[in-house]
Amino acid sequence: MVYCRECWTEMAEHIAEVIPLEMVSPSVLLDLYRTGKTTSDPFTACQLVFGHAEPELVREAQALIHSHCG
């Protein structure tokens, strides 16, 4: 998930990965879901990171979340 500086500071001990936004590509985002490092809502995450929610990327991320659930 994307955090402002204040929230990141408060949550730092609970955050496993820190990636600068400019380094996040669709494949990096999917890797975070694939490895279970995030279960954030893919639609919201895509909007925050890329400025829009690409439907195929959201579907892929949702599928990865569901693959970890069962």
pTM, whole model, 2 decimals? Answer: 0.82
**Res. 67: pLDDT tops 80:** yes
* Residue 3 scores a pLDDT above 80: no
The pLDDT value given to residue 70: 60
Q: What is the pLDDT of residues 34-43, one digit of tens each?
A: 998 888 999 9
pLDDT higher than 90, residue 66? yes
42 close to 65: Cβ distance less than 8 angstroms: yes
